[in-house]
Amino acid sequence: MTSWSLDGGANNTILTNSTYAVPILMNSPHTVTLHTVTQYSLTLDYGAQSALLSLTSPRIPGDNYWYDSGTPITYIGRTGLPTSLVVGWEADGNAPVPVSGGVDFVSDLVMNGPHTLIVIAEPSNSTCASSGCDDSKTVDVSIQTNTNLPSGMWIDGAYYPKAVTFAWTVGSLHNITVAQGFKESAVRSTFGQWTGLLSSRSTTILLNANKSGSLTAEYSKQYLVQLAFIDESGEPLTPQFVTLVGPSGDQALGSNLSAWVEPGAPYSLKSVIWMDWNVALSNDSSFSITQSTTLTFSTDVYSQTIKVTDAYGMPVQGATIDVTTVNNRTISIGTGSQGTAQFRIPVGLFSATVSYLGVNDQIIASSQGSHNYNVNFLLSYPLVATIGAAVGASALSVAYFRFRKKPEAGPYIFSDS
């Protein structure tokens, strides 16, 4: 294959043995580049027969073909003619490869040089010469899937939504394709293999109709499981990461915490990470399901409450609480209008520093579980009022001093009395 490009632009194909002319306006310098690719010929030799060999990839009509170097080719030897029986084939003059009578053959080659394929056939008075092949003009073939989800099959280019039976000519070839999977709400089916007349794990197969029988696309059903997590008080909890272990190994779940699982298969939770800690589960992490469902797991995450009050038991708003968890993670929170701060941590073990107006207090929770702590600072409103009164008196003295230094203009009378 030959092509050309102008000034480094897109390639323009030139057909083999053709001349291509294009006008170029010489208003500036131009560069025309000719690109060539080595090609090799493929010759099909049927001998005295016809229509016994066909290419499936690429599909090009004729008996002689030119392909770019390195192109992979798939070809099929057909045995469907009632007057002929393929007994073998040979490539490039090599030793013939025998073929069982009545059975089509499929092979591949790479065009790294010129090739010649020869079909070796002999006359036959029967449409079927192999054992296990029906000696009749047609065979009945039933094709179906084992899933009850909306599925379907593409057979010789036509779509069939459900099971179908054909009366096919003996030895004819048929292309059959099914989808990799189907999904409906919280149920899905995934293709596994073909069983019956042909065994294959490919969703697309080529069937030689040489005997009657059935062909089934086997699908495995899966259900969608939603995982939910709560703390020890029953409040919802959203982990950072969850790892599920099943028949196919580890599976990292996404932020929606859902997974497709096989019915009846054993699964378990390998890890549940929250606040950078693999939290333990209060209930069994193993499960096996037979339908789509939501599973809830309780974790060893506990609620904690710290309340800050003054000397009169009044709530202190705005106190700072710096918490260090069991895995050395730190969080900082402040008290609200009721003087309380609430937070959740793994296990329930922590230390905390409570600060307000330069006054500090320490808390160490050494037992697992939820805790309620009250921190009392010796702060009182009378003390604050006294400080405010002293500040006010000082401000009044300053004002009086400023007044004495800057009297209003006018006559003044001084008296010793």
pLDDT digits (tens, 9 = 90+) for 237-285: 999 999 999 998 999 997 789 999 999 999 999 999 999 999 999 888 9
Q: What is the DSSP string of 73-138?
A: EEEEE----TTEEEEEEEETT-PPEE--TT--EEEEEE-SS-EEEEEEEEE-SSS--STT---SSE
Residue 287 maps to a domain: yes
Q: Helix, strand, or coil here: 400?
A: helix
On the question of pLDDT at 133 being above 70, the answer is: no
pLDDT confidence band for 14 (50 / 70 / 90)? low
Cα–chain center distance at 110: 34
What's the CATH code of the domain at 230?
A: 2.60.40.10
Beta bridge partners of 359: 356
Residue 412 maps to a domain: no
Residue 34 maps to a domain: no
What is the tens place of the pLDDT at every residue in 341-372? 999 999 999 999 999 999 999 999 999 999 99
One domain for residues 22 and 118: no
pLDDT confidence band for 60 (50 / 70 / 90)? very low
The per-residue pLDDT for 257 is 94
Give the Cβ contact number of residue 27 at 10 Å: 6
Beta bridge partners of 306: 341, 373
Contact assessment for residue 208 and residue 105, using Cβ atoms and an 8 Å cutoff: no
One domain for residues 315 and 399: yes
Residue 281 maps to a domain: yes
Angstrom distance (rounded) from CA 104 to CA 86 = 8
Q: Which of 123, 147, 171 is the last residue of a domain?
A: 123
One domain for residues 205 and 111: no
Contact assessment for residue 215 and residue 143, using Cβ atoms and an 8 Å cutoff: yes
Angstrom distance (rounded) from CA 33 to CA 11 = 9
Q: Which of 200, 218, 236 is the last residue of a domain?
A: 218
Residue 185 maps to a domain: yes
One domain for residues 306 and 391: yes
Residue 416 maps to a domain: no
Beta bridge partners of 287: 267
The per-residue pLDDT for 164 is 92
Identify the domain containing residue 264 by its residue range: 222-298
pTM of the model: 0.54
Place of tokens 């070809």: 75
One domain for residues 58 and 103: yes
Please give the average per-residue pLDDT across 123-136, as a whole number: 49
On the question of pLDDT at 36 being above 70, the answer is: yes
Residue 129 maps to a domain: no
One domain for residues 47 and 112: yes
On the question of pLDDT at 112 being above 60, the answer is: yes
Name the domain count of the chain: 5
One domain for residues 252 and 198: no
Q: Which of 197, 218, 239 is the last residue of a domain?
A: 218
Percent of the chain at pLDDT exceeding 90: 46
What is the tens place of the pLDDT at every residue in 385-394? 444 444 444 4
